[in-house]
Amino acid sequence: NAGVTQTPKFRVLKTGQSMTLLCAQDMNHEYMYWYRQDPGMGLRLIHYSVGEGTTAKGEVPDGYNVSRLKKQNFLLGLESAAPSQTSVYFCASSYDAGGSYEQYFGPGTRLTVT
Protein backbone atom coordinates (compact mmCIF):
# COMPACT_ATOMS: atom_id res chain seq x y z
CA ASN A 1 0.00 0.00 0.00
CA ALA A 2 1.95 3.02 -1.30
CA GLY A 3 -0.64 5.62 -0.20
CA VAL A 4 -0.25 8.86 -2.14
CA THR A 5 2.69 9.19 -4.50
CA GLN A 6 3.82 12.19 -6.53
CA THR A 7 5.98 12.44 -9.63
CA PRO A 8 8.45 14.10 -10.03
CA LYS A 9 10.01 15.00 -6.67
CA PHE A 10 11.94 17.98 -8.01
CA ARG A 11 11.77 20.04 -11.19
CA VAL A 12 13.33 23.22 -12.52
CA LEU A 13 11.50 25.02 -15.32
CA LYS A 14 12.21 28.10 -17.33
CA THR A 15 9.57 30.80 -17.60
CA GLY A 16 7.04 29.85 -20.25
CA GLN A 17 7.71 26.11 -20.19
CA SER A 18 4.98 23.64 -19.42
CA MET A 19 4.84 20.54 -17.26
CA THR A 20 2.49 18.07 -15.65
CA LEU A 21 2.64 16.83 -12.08
CA LEU A 22 1.22 13.38 -11.44
CA CYS A 23 -0.50 12.27 -8.26
CA ALA A 24 -1.52 8.67 -7.72
CA GLN A 25 -3.34 7.02 -4.82
CA ASP A 26 -4.06 3.35 -4.21
CA MET A 27 -6.68 3.72 -1.47
CA ASN A 28 -9.73 3.94 -3.76
CA HIS A 29 -10.43 7.47 -2.52
CA GLU A 30 -13.06 9.59 -4.24
CA TYR A 31 -11.69 12.99 -3.30
CA MET A 32 -8.34 14.33 -4.45
CA TYR A 33 -6.70 17.72 -3.92
CA TRP A 34 -3.78 19.79 -5.12
CA TYR A 35 -2.25 22.30 -2.69
CA ARG A 36 0.71 24.60 -2.95
CA GLN A 37 2.93 25.73 -0.10
CA ASP A 38 5.09 28.83 -0.33
CA PRO A 39 8.00 29.35 2.08
CA GLY A 40 6.87 29.90 5.67
CA MET A 41 3.20 29.59 4.74
CA GLY A 42 0.41 27.10 5.20
CA LEU A 43 -0.96 25.10 2.30
CA ARG A 44 -3.44 26.65 -0.14
CA LEU A 45 -5.87 24.71 -2.28
CA ILE A 46 -5.38 24.97 -6.06
CA HIS A 47 -7.92 22.52 -7.48
CA TYR A 48 -9.79 19.51 -6.25
CA SER A 49 -11.86 16.60 -7.53
CA VAL A 50 -14.85 14.90 -5.95
CA GLY A 51 -14.70 11.89 -8.24
CA GLU A 52 -13.48 10.47 -11.53
CA GLY A 53 -14.12 12.87 -14.38
CA THR A 54 -14.86 15.87 -12.14
CA THR A 55 -12.68 18.83 -11.16
CA ALA A 56 -13.28 22.16 -9.46
CA LYS A 57 -11.34 25.31 -8.59
CA GLY A 58 -9.90 25.99 -5.19
CA GLU A 59 -8.49 29.18 -3.69
CA VAL A 60 -5.62 29.81 -6.12
CA PRO A 61 -6.45 28.14 -9.47
CA ASP A 62 -5.03 30.72 -11.91
CA GLY A 63 -2.28 29.39 -14.14
CA TYR A 64 -3.10 25.73 -13.44
CA ASN A 65 -5.29 23.08 -15.03
CA VAL A 66 -6.20 19.63 -13.75
CA SER A 67 -7.65 16.37 -14.99
CA ARG A 68 -8.99 13.24 -13.31
CA LEU A 69 -9.50 10.71 -16.07
CA LYS A 70 -8.93 7.76 -13.75
CA LYS A 71 -10.06 7.55 -10.15
CA GLN A 72 -6.58 6.85 -8.85
CA ASN A 73 -4.80 9.67 -10.70
CA PHE A 74 -5.02 13.45 -10.44
CA LEU A 75 -2.87 15.52 -12.80
CA LEU A 76 -1.85 19.15 -12.29
CA GLY A 77 -0.69 21.05 -15.37
CA LEU A 78 1.18 24.29 -15.76
CA GLU A 79 0.77 25.51 -19.35
CA SER A 80 3.16 28.47 -19.17
CA ALA A 81 5.19 28.49 -15.99
CA ALA A 82 5.89 31.76 -14.17
CA PRO A 83 8.35 32.50 -11.34
CA SER A 84 5.36 33.09 -9.03
CA GLN A 85 4.60 29.38 -9.37
CA THR A 86 7.83 28.44 -7.63
CA SER A 87 6.53 26.45 -4.69
CA VAL A 88 6.15 23.01 -3.17
CA TYR A 89 3.11 21.17 -4.48
CA PHE A 90 1.28 18.59 -2.40
CA CYS A 91 -1.37 16.20 -3.50
CA ALA A 92 -3.85 14.71 -1.05
CA SER A 93 -6.73 12.27 -1.10
CA SER A 94 -9.66 11.42 1.11
CA TYR A 95 -12.38 8.78 1.13
CA ASP A 96 -15.06 11.40 1.71
CA ALA A 97 -15.46 15.13 2.26
CA GLY A 98 -17.04 14.71 5.66
CA GLY A 99 -15.35 15.80 8.84
CA SER A 100 -14.82 12.29 10.13
CA TYR A 101 -12.40 11.43 7.31
CA GLU A 102 -8.77 12.39 7.22
CA GLN A 103 -6.71 13.47 4.23
CA TYR A 104 -3.60 11.62 3.19
CA PHE A 105 -0.80 13.65 1.66
CA GLY A 106 1.95 12.84 -0.79
CA PRO A 107 5.61 13.74 -0.24
CA GLY A 108 5.48 16.83 -2.43
CA THR A 109 7.03 18.15 -5.64
CA ARG A 110 9.48 21.01 -5.29
CA LEU A 111 9.18 23.23 -8.37
CA THR A 112 11.47 26.11 -9.23
CA VAL A 113 10.68 28.42 -12.13
CA THR A 114 13.56 30.61 -13.27
Partner 1 sequence: DAKTTQPNSMESNEEEPVHLPCNHSTISGTDYIHWYRQLPSQGPEYVIHGLTSNVNNRMASLAIAEDRKSSTLILHRATLRDAAVYYCILRGYGSGNTGKLIFGQGTTLQVKP
Contact status: 68 vs partner 1 (CB under 8 A) = no
Among 19, 20, 22, 50, binds partner 1 (CB under 8 A): 50
In angstroms, give the least distance from the CB of 6 to partner 1.
Answer: 8
Q: CB of residue 114 vs partner 1: minimum separation in angstroms?
A: 21
Identify the CA nearest to 68 among candidates 16, 5, 23, 3.
23
Q: Considering the rule CB under 8 A, would residue 64 count as an interface residue with partner 1?
A: no
Q: Would you say 83 or 107 has its CB closer to partner 1?
A: 107
Distance from chain centroid for Cα 77? 9
Contacts of 114 (CB under 8 A, 6+ apart): 12, 13, 14, 15, 83
